Amino acid sequence: MVLQHTVELLTDDELRATLHEIRRATRPGGLVAVKDVDGYAFAARPGDPYLFTDLFRTAGATPGYAQQVLRTRDLYRWMREAGLHDVRQRTFLIEHFTPPLTADVRAYYAPAFAELAAQAKKSGLTSPDRDALLDPAHPASPFTHPTGT
């Protein structure tokens, strides 16, 4: 069984129920593979290398995507609590460099970055780099800057 970019979309209760169902449905000796995002590993250049960590922690103070994407680092614990055995976890870094970001990569990341920046703004996090993420056309946005992410 494979889960891809699912954990980050589930509430705690939904994740717990999903993992229990996976445990129930997986045959003895079966394999469960999970690929998901680790919010602590995000960075966008140019700009503050800790901006995304700050954004996720600030926005993650309330339930929602930012809080859920920070759980990935502890996913192995959730899986063990659900009764899955021989759980191993590895982190891989995936990097996108510009110029140029392809249209599909930009279409995927720009709305997500803008939503996260808006959540952080509501939570009171101030940063000029945050404002550049709200608008993909902003001159300092990593989506338009010649040496952006």
Q: Is residue 111 part of a domain?
A: yes
pLDDT at 148: 59
Q: Is residue 88 included in any domain, yes or no? A: yes
pLDDT at 77 over 90: yes
Number of structural domains (the chain) is 1
The answer as to whether 140 is a domain residue is no
Instruction: Tell me the angle at which helices 51-59 and 103-123 cross, rounded to the nearest 10 degrees.
Output: 60
pLDDT band at 99 (very low <50, low <70, confident <90, very high): low
User: Quick check: is 139 in a domain?
Assistant: no
Tell whether 61 is covered by a domain.
Answer: yes
60-70, pLDDT tens digit by residue?
777 877 788 88
**Mean pLDDT across 81-85:** 94
Domain holding 39, by residue range, is 2-134
pLDDT average, residue stretch 36-48: 77
Which structure tokens are listed for 9? 């979309």
Across the chain, mean pLDDT equals 81
What confidence category does residue 16 fall into, taking pLDDT thresholds of 50, 70 and 90? Answer: very high
Q: Is residue 148 part of a domain?
A: no
Evaluate whether residue 144 is within a structural domain: no
What per-residue confidence (pLDDT) applies to 30? 92
Please say whether the beta carbons of 99 and 39 come within 8 A.
no
pLDDT in tens, 123-148: 777 776 767 777 777 777 777 766 65
